Amino acid sequence: MSLLASDELMVRSSQRSERLRLLSHSTEPALKAVVLTCADHRVDPAHVLGLEPNDAVVLRNPGGRVTGDVVRSLLVLSAVAAVEQLSGGVEIIVMHHTDCGMSRLGGPEHRGLLADYLGTTADGLAEVPVIDPALSLRHDVAALRALVGTTPVIGLLFDVGSGTVHRLE
């Protein structure tokens, strides 16, 4: 009988628990970074960016997009940092990727769903890039920079085919 995915994950978790117990339990990430990226299984930031446990706060959603939910999450994280009296700020890294499933939702049959997800109207979708990952990344970085003031916001583009990451200015 084959194991269910959850059974396999529990076995793996048990094997890693000793190592994890030895790590710092600070609420402050070691790299002082928040990474926002896509929920796509090919874009796990631990693998793509070499993150280790406790390195960064990771937020994932379809497309790695800056949505109302992401903004609310960043506000809550900021409040936690204030309560914990953590030292200094963080850098926010937004990472989009090539061959994203979101790029397949550009047709008229998905306008309502996409508009709702991205916090705009169906007519407003023309202003929110979806098909081109570099354009969507630049759009989201600019939107986030407008919201967070002096907090650094960096855009990274992961090429699924080559496995490389490029910084977009």
Burial class (CB in 10 A: 0-12, 13-18, 19+), 118: buried
Q: Which of 15-24, 54-63, 134-143 has the lowest mean pLDDT?
A: 15-24
Residue 16 within any structural domain of the chain: no
The pLDDT of 142-169, averaged and rounded, is 95
Residue 21 within any structural domain of the chain: no
Looking at residue 64, which CATH number applies to its domain? 3.40.1050.10
Residue 8 within any structural domain of the chain: no
**Quick check: 138 pLDDT over 90?**
yes
The pLDDT of 99-111, averaged and rounded, is 92
In degrees to the nearest 10, what's the CA dihedral of 24, 151, 91, 143?
130
Residue 126 within any structural domain of the chain: yes
In degrees to the nearest 10, what's the CA dihedral of 5, 7, 12, 15?
180
Of residues 153 and 169, more confidence is placed in 153
Q: How many angstroms from the chain centroid is the CA of residue 19?
A: 25
Residue 55 within any structural domain of the chain: yes
Range of 103's domain? 26-168
Residue 38 within any structural domain of the chain: yes
Whose CA is closest to 86, among 32, 151, 13?
32
pTM of the prediction?
0.87
**Quick check: 130 pLDDT over 80?**
yes
The pLDDT of 146-160, averaged and rounded, is 95
The pLDDT of 91-107, averaged and rounded, is 94
Query: Residues of the chain with pLDDT > 70: what percent?
Result: 97
For residue 29, CA distances in Å to 23, 26, 40, 81 come to 12, 7, 23, 10
Residue 10 within any structural domain of the chain: no
Q: How confident is the model at residue 84 (pLDDT cuts 50, 70, 90)?
A: confident
Residue 3 within any structural domain of the chain: no
Q: Say if strands 153-159 and 164-168 run parallel, antiparallel, or are unpaired.
A: antiparallel
Q: How far apart are CA 126 and CA 118, in angstroms?
A: 12
**Quick check: 79 pLDDT over 90?**
no
The pLDDT mean for the chain works out to 91
Strands (E), the chain: 33-38, 56-61, 91-97, 153-159, 164-168
Of residues 62 and 88, more confidence is placed in 62
Number of domains in the chain: 1
Predicted pLDDT of residue 154:
97
Q: How far apart are CA 105 and CA 137, in angstroms?
A: 16
